[in-house]
Amino acid sequence: MTAVIETRGLTKRFRGGQLAVDRLDLAVPAGSVFGFLGPNGSGKTTTIRMLMGLIDPTAGSATLLGRPMPRAARAVLPEVGTLIEGPALYGFLTGRDNLVRYDSADPTADPRTRRTRVAEALDRVGLTAAGGKRAKAYSLGMKQRLGLAAALLQPRRLLVLDEPTNGLDPQGMREIRTLVRELAADGTTVFLSSHLLDEIEQVCTHAAVMAQGRLITQGSVADLAAGARGRLAVTTPDPGEAARVLKKLGVTEVTVAEDRVSGEPPAGEVELADLNAALVQAGVRVRSFGIERASLEDAFVALTGEGFDVAG
């Protein structure tokens, strides 16, 4: 697939020597929902700011929609909707009037259809009833929704969202995930930065993993998860004895939760059938036994040796 976003050796070193992004090679396929994944401070927002032409890279190059950035920013950015580090709002204006201001600043926007498009954008993010309220009275989640509405005032080939569910309750997070899927189905490529593994796994088709400014891996979400080993899971009314036996046989990171015991299968030649047989021989009553499908969290831990927020 054609790359909508592509970087080669993209690097940003700030004054004082801090290396925020280190030689990033990124390729975002057209039509994908691409998760840009990493802990807070891993270089995600700095990368997005370079992609949008808000800051200059120290080295390397970036293209958006096949055009070099920031040189082609004036031609490219009207086709890109963005929500970066939260929306900039006029607190004394209503949500609706904030969108009118945003739209008025867009030289490609048709003023004759402005009110209609503003109403449609408010409706799409669930803010129709609050459109007449002043923005300073909005909660953090409502401000995030309004920022999304601003990004959706015009049809976009690319939508870049930096932590779009920040401040939202679980219902709001589900609604934003649904909206992202709808946009992708309409042909918009969505580049979604997040530190929430669960969010990326639920909504994204592709992902890249960042840690300490460097790209660890990228590819389809299914392939990334498939590259990690799943955990051994045993359901038994004898969890304590099961945990003891499994540890003795080389299973590591054993956890017990009520009647469920899980852990990392031993490396080497140990057969799962032998583990099961050992449990039975020790008198453990096994109700279920098997390897769970690896998740994106498992893949991240395997790649980086660390974890971070999964559900927020």
The single residue listed with the structure tokens 């890109």 is 80
Q: What are the residues whose beta carbons fall under 8 Å from the beta carbon of 262, sequence distance 6 or more?
A: 231, 232, 233, 234, 254, 255, 292
Cross-strand partners of 27: 6
Which domains are delineated in the chain?
Answer: 3-226 (3.40.50.300), 232-292 (3.30.70.100)
Query: What single-letter amino acid sits at 265?
Result: P
Query: What single-letter amino acid sits at 138?
Result: Y
Q: What are the pLDDT tens digits along the chain (312 aa)?
A: 589 999 999 999 998 888 999 999 999 999 999 999 887 788 988 999 999 998 999 999 999 999 999 899 888 988 999 888 778 899 999 999 999 999 998 888 899 999 999 999 999 888 999 999 999 999 888 898 899 899 999 888 999 998 888 778 888 888 888 888 888 888 899 999 887 777 777 888 999 988 889 998 898 887 776 656 667 889 999 999 999 999 998 888 898 989 999 887 887 656 888 889 999 999 999 999 887 765 566 666 665 555 544 433
pTM of the shown model: 0.74
- What is the CA 12 to chain-centroid distance, rounded? 21
